[in-house]
Structure 1
């Protein structure tokens, strides 16, 4: 992906980007190169001050520039195979000059500097690893790059080029899909004259990824109660599987989970309509993305399983915690088992910034009084339990408050704040509906003649099939009713009996 000088100058330093002055010493630069190679790779812009962002350029000191160019070879052990390019620019003094761009690949090997110190990229810092973390990283490097291995028997015909085009448009890549696949991330390489299609390429861009990786999918199972039972006591309520490319899996899974999350809507003491959820939206998204993005795809005998109980969600993901990540540092430590998949999802805003998601998830759970996720490794499956915000107690408290004589006047006053045709019962009791269903109801109150396509377009996050499914549930609950034929009829929002 090509950037302009101004785009690079404005780019914030982070997990995969840093800028350095031309005056930096090669030994110091080596630490950043080593840290990126050991982590997710990245790009370093030399000739832009990392403190003032002043454009210095690199032409003025040819001898020092040569030392900079030799840093990956002379100061990194083993040598790191970077690629470099010179971008023309005007420096801060108005002279024609160049910026040196160093592209650092994520390496399958463990790298150190000349002093045998190992560094790891954490946000915009290069952190020196203690011996124990260095040893763990060395062990885990071997399993990390399964996504780069060729997908057995896959050919170019198995790649959906329209999906590649959509991604290229997303990142601003101007060449052809074939050029992108051949020139980036090792998606398409050649062994002699035979094309080798990588695992990551099939998972991200394949026409039918499950033809090559049958268990590269997500399975959702909902149970009645708080325990998983089998045999004659089996308590499974729902069992749904989501397949397709990784992006499709994530979108379908999140959409469906949103239909299963309980939500209670009620009038608060301030007279405004309030909503409590079992799980924050970001937590649902983050856990789903983490499971799909960081699972060990070399484990082919099982899929990701998401199990919903009355009091918790359990995400069962093939593979132990990756790299130097442990249960006691997972909140602030990042390691991508599949960095190419992670970078792809970042372009679609599912990975906001490398390493920030777990911390934000913990903060959001804490804000609603729920404890942090719990992690437990069973054989080769990492089980993560996310505890629900139990809504029943809060609902009972709200109902009790509404029964007090002094609340009667508040109820009559706050009723006026709702739409005039909103169901009367929703003004007095909590609705056991999902967030998506609430949005559908509110939209139908404004647009009763809307069809599934129009509703889906309004919600943005729900497909037409998802709209159809939720309309059916709302009809079964007696919340809405179809008046007239499918074409020419309209939706009526009812009151509860």
Structure 2
């Protein structure tokens, strides 16, 4: 048996052929052989090229892998149909130009190469050229034609100017935060109270002996520069302190949407019951978002084994609040017009922020990797007590969800169209349907009464308290039952004086008829009743 054949069999025996993706790129390069060259199926870490490939095309592959986390491999000598043709027939000037292609066509790429011997079907010896291209976290690697590429799925994607700039910012090659802004005037266009709070917190934190001017503190924290004695703010300063950052960053806002049900739907079925835009400088956006979103979250009250009610929040407060803060702190502000979306459904909360994961960060290592996209912004937010920069936020999110017996947060990078990162929190809604009621419902209808209700009745009362009112159509969706069954359940609660029926007596079938909670004396009625309605 030939030495090459021995190498092939030895390597294959050491690899679980059912899970080749568990083998690292460096291991493949070090021990590459015919098993890998002949292997069928897709492997997004490997590009296979014919020996006829132009060196310039290899330069594009080198750029692609240099800009893709983990880098990748290029095998030269394999035809499009998978035939192992080798490179021997082109040995000489052409093969030499292929092996020298990185230096000429992509000089910033870090490439190792070697020839690996193969045995062709006719028994003749040949070789495949194997290139190992390392990922460069420090810069965007371009070809000699000033073009940049990256891997997107199983395709080579050419980057446009905005995408190149975004990648340069993510890699720290450009400091977008530090770019000066002359269109917004300092101090008249800035929130002086916020700046004063920041400066005071810096003095307190650093135990400064002297009352340094605000401009000096801002300069020290890389939030602007002094030119001719005049303070010139930068992008980070505008995001943190401008009265209206949207003059320069139209997407500096959060759009919060609450949906009735588990899906968003479209057109006439679009089910948003609340749609709020939250604007302003970042510290105020975060504070306002906390108020708006916190006001929409539910508290459930589960009946314990001891017969007492225990309040369970829909999500741990730290978790959803941290998701909002992270979106504001880590999003890509180079994508100026894209806002942050927060969408609340019955069963989940989605926080979507513009931009990809920062370099070296992905959904698998997000609990251990810390590489902030906006380090100067993060540093300033520390002095407002909004971030810790200690790489513990996502870990605590996971741990808090676990303690609440909820699924851990899911982090997903979407690259369809404009890149975004989405955080998904699930509230185990289907299981919590079985909880007795929200704490608000228990405060209105006594625990003793609730113990006598069926599960469907408890859910109807819970919904009526949370949403102020309920109608038959909503009850039908909630209970997943026939319209007449839902109406019968609601009228049963009316007869027991738990719900009150509002309808117009002059209409045989009132489309606006609905039910509200009968509140004990002394409790304000949350719902307002239109003129002409009758209490049934």
TM-score band w.r.t. shorter chain: 0.5 to 0.7
User: 1:390 and 1:189 mapped to 2: Cα distance?
Assistant: 50
Superposition pairs of residues 154-169 of structure 1, within 5 angstroms: 154-156=184-186, 157-169=188-200
User: What stretches of structure 1 of length at least 5 have no aligned partner?
Assistant: 1-130, 400-417, 438-475, 484-489
TM-score computed with the length of structure 1 as normaliser: 0.53
Asked if residue 388 in structure 1 is aligned to residue 409 in structure 2, the reply is: no
In 2, distance between residues paired with 1:215 and 1:426? 47
Distance (Å, rounded) in 2 between the aligned partners of 1:164 and 1:152: 18
Match of 2:121 in 1: none
1: CA distance, partners of 2:411 / 2:194: 36
Q: How does 1:111-260 map to 2 (within 5 A)?
A: 135-139=136-140, 140=167, 142-143=169-170, 144=172, 145-156=175-186, 157-171=188-202, 172=204, 174-181=210-217, 183-191=219-227, 195-260=231-296
Report how far residue 310 of structure 1 moved.
Answer: 2.2
Residue 303 and residue 425 in structure 1: after superposition, are their counterparts in 2 closer, same or farther (change >3 A)? same
Change (3 A) 1:394 1:307: closer
8 Å CA contact 2:223, 2:234 repeated in 1: yes
Aligned equivalents of 1:326, 1:133: Cα separation in 2: 17
Q: 1:138 to 1:297 in 2, by over 3 A?
A: same
Report the counterpart of residue 321 of structure 2 in structure 1.
285
CA contact (8 A) 1:264 1:275 kept: yes
Secondary structure at the counterpart of residue 396 of structure 1: coil
Task: Report the counterpart of residue 412 of structure 2 in structure 1.
Answer: 375
Q: Bigger relative contact order, structure 1 or 2, given CA contacts below 8 A and separation 6+?
A: 1
User: Following the alignment from structure 2 to structure 1, what is the Cα–Cα distance between the partners of residues 304 and 444?
Assistant: 17
Q: Give the conservation status (yes or no) of the 8 Å contact 1:293–1:338.
A: yes
1:180/1:482 CA distance change after superposition, 3 Å: farther
Number of equivalent positions: 302
Deviation at 1:198, TM superposition (A): 0.7
Displacement of 1:482: 9.6
Q: What is the Cα deviation at residue 344 of structure 1?
A: 2.2
Partners of 1:137 and 1:190 lie apart in 2 by: 29
Query: Shift in Å at residue 211 of structure 1?
Result: 2.2
Runs (5+) with no aligned partner, structure 2: 1-131, 141-166, 451-457, 468-514, 528-535
Change (3 A) 1:200 1:343: same
Deviation at 1:424, TM superposition (A): 4.8
Larger Rg: 2
Q: 1:478 to 1:353 in 2, by over 3 A?
A: farther
Shift of 1:481: 8.3
Tell me, in whole angstroms, the C-alpha distance in 1 between the residues paired with 2:356 and 2:516: 42
| Equivalent position of 1:312 in the other structure | 348
Q: Which moved more, 1:388-397 or 1:313-322?
A: 388-397
The whole-number CA distance in structure 2 between the counterparts of 1:358 and 1:244 is 26
- The 3-state SS of whatever aligns with 1:163 is helix
CA distance in 2 between counterparts of 1:182 and 1:149 reads: 14
In structure 1, C-alpha distance between the alignment counterparts of 2:261 and 2:517, rounded to whole Å: 25
Is this contact kept in 2: 1:480–1:493, CA < 8 A?
no
Correspondence for 1:425 = 446
> How far apart are the structure 2 equivalents of 1:274 and 1:224?
26
Cα 1:133/1:299, change in 2 over 3 Å: farther
Q: CA RMSD in A?
A: 3.7
1:236-285 CA distance string (max 9 Å, x none):
22110000110110111122111222221243223443122321111111
For 1:285 and 1:435, how far apart are their aligned partners in 2?
25
